[in-house]
Amino acid sequence: MTSYCRIAFTNPLTSAHAVEQKFQILNAVAEYDHVELDISGSADMDGSGLQLLVMFRSALLHAGKCGAITHPRPAVREAVEFLRMGELFAAVAPEAQHGVA
């Protein structure tokens, strides 16, 4: 049975909240097979927030887990796309990357 976790951030993705958010992400990726990171409650993002999103995807891939970053607000999506990092919002499914269907 696949275990699922949804993390919903309500604080901005900024350095003021980065440490707490980082531990939430890493704990969820360690414990669950599929992790959804819902950032609809995060209206603002700085460099630390971008680093959190990159770390989330990296942790999923490293652990062989599935997940996605969902519901970004327009300002967050625009900032990520401006940096040409829109792939952060694509779902991670490691078994598909290795040719296993």
The answer to whether residue 24 sits within a structural domain is: yes
Domain of residue 70, CATH code: 3.30.750.24
The whole-model pTM stands at 0.86
Cα 59 to chain center, whole Å?
9
The answer to whether residue 91 sits within a structural domain is: yes
The answer to whether residue 36 sits within a structural domain is: yes
The answer to whether residue 72 sits within a structural domain is: yes
5-18: pLDDT as tens digits: 999 999 999 999 99
Q: Say how many domains are in the chain.
A: 1
- Residue given tokens 């296993």 in the structure block: 100
Residue 90 clears pLDDT 90, i.e. is over it = no
Residue 8 structure tokens:
């919903």
Residue 99, pLDDT score: 43
65-86: pLDDT as tens digits: 999 999 999 989 998 899 899 8
Residue 53 structure tokens:
């999103």
CB 29 within 8 A of CB 60: yes
